[in-house]
Amino acid sequence: MDLKRLFSEFLTETQISDSSEDLENYGKDWTKHFTPNASLVLFPKTTEDVQKIVVCCQKNKIAVIPSGGRTGLSAGATATQKEVILSLEKMNKIQELNPIDQTLRCQAGAVLENIQNHALENGYYYPVDFAARGSCQIGGTLATNAGGIKVIRYGLTRNWVAGMTVVTGTGEVLNINNGLVKNATGYDLRHLFIGSEGTLGVITEVLLKLTTPPQDLQVMLFSTTTLEAIMNVYKAFRDELVLTSFESFTDVCLNFVESQGRVSSPLQEKAPYYLLIEFENTSGQLDKAMEVFERCLEKEWVTDGVISQSDQQAKDLWALREDITEATSVKQPYKNDISVNIHKVPEFLSLMTQIIKEKHPSFQVAWFGHIGDGNLHVNILKPEDLTSDEFISKCKEVDVEMFSMIKKLGGSVSAEHGVGLVKKNYLDHTRSAAEIEYMKHIKQVFDPNGVLNPGKLLP
């Protein structure tokens, strides 16, 4: 089939690309071990364009992949089977901020950081935040129900969606919820599309909720020596303060970040674990934080600590955590992203350490994550003496053991990165057979011909 000709019936020349560079770039996300193999990249400009593309794909049984900023880490937006890519990149307008409703309407291709800045410039705040903010698109953050570094205070993307426009796999355009705060009229379809990884519909417009910006954010960095101490520190601070973040990382991560030469830890002593906490300095929270810190020192839960003295220092402390992904990328990490109930984090970590020590002693692991959400990023670093293929196949052996342990602990094989191609064979470790069956029925309803992101998410 001459795909280019087919789509040029309703798209202009500049909205269609088959250049090898575009096929390569748009065919992959930040998951490194999949080879892109797309057939065409389409750039719709309106919901109507998207609708025409989906209808055409449905009629001609063409697999189509909704594509945002491609910062995902589970191959949810990769094209490996000659699929057509539907990039939302040209649908990037921030349309309207409504100060009474405290909502912001934008197209799905708007970049998260632009949305955050636009909200701030108008005295409001969009609180979902993570390191890929400069490249990820809002539609993708809905499709993956993105989490990040402020979930402990503001929750996941799901909490911030007041409405959306979606083109379903059947080509129907749904305008869902219209920004209503209260709407007790049955199934809330927003929540089906959020986290569906482009398998049910293409999100084309989003109505986001906004809030008021946090005041006088303070950042503290601590060093600590045991996993149990991390939990004690977490409880001590969480009981007395309203935290906006509670993050952790290991010395391995810190060494990688420091080796980039951009930022370094201001703490005197090295330690196996580091904690970064953030809170607003309102209602005497700073004094309370200092008191809790003193108590943690006395009990030897922390060995050292600093508090940011300026916005720049706060940014630098954050960089120690946020630069980990980039700093460790030289080691081609095999990435995992799991969650357990918060109190089970130490148990998970010590079981995992045991597995690695016994079965793969040459592996170095960079742990970091959102401890306050029970979410850990397990990054196995590639040893020099293994080829990429050897390394990946050994990591897949680790996956088998890790995911069966996660199942026993009642956790999730993907906390925030999503399922995509990477986790779909382990979906049953977190979801029951009945749940997966219902999901397949739902897929059938919205995309009966299976043209939207086929092969992703569902086994």
Measured from the CB atom, is 177 or 255 closer to ligand MLT? 255
CB of 451 vs ligand MLT, minimal distance in Å: 29
CB of 268 vs ligand MLT, minimal distance in Å: 26
CB of 337 vs ligand MLT, minimal distance in Å: 6
Measured from the CB atom, is 278 or 337 closer to ligand MLT? 337
Q: Which residue in the block uniquely carries the two structure tokens 């108590």?
A: 295
Measured from the CB atom, is 280 or 337 closer to ligand MLT? 337
CB of 432 vs ligand MLT, minimal distance in Å: 26
Measured from the CB atom, is 323 or 447 closer to ligand MLT? 323
CB of 71 vs ligand MLT, minimal distance in Å: 9
Measured from the CB atom, is 209 or 417 closer to ligand MLT? 417
**Which residues form the interface with ligand MLT (CB under 6 A)?**
130-131, 325, 337, 377
CB of 379 vs ligand MLT, minimal distance in Å: 7
Measured from the CB atom, is 84 or 257 closer to ligand MLT? 257
Measured from the CB atom, is 131 or 406 closer to ligand MLT? 131
User: Which residue's CB comes closest to ligand MLT?
Assistant: 325
CB of 326 vs ligand MLT, minimal distance in Å: 9
CB of 131 vs ligand MLT, minimal distance in Å: 5
Measured from the CB atom, is 32 or 288 closer to ligand MLT? 32
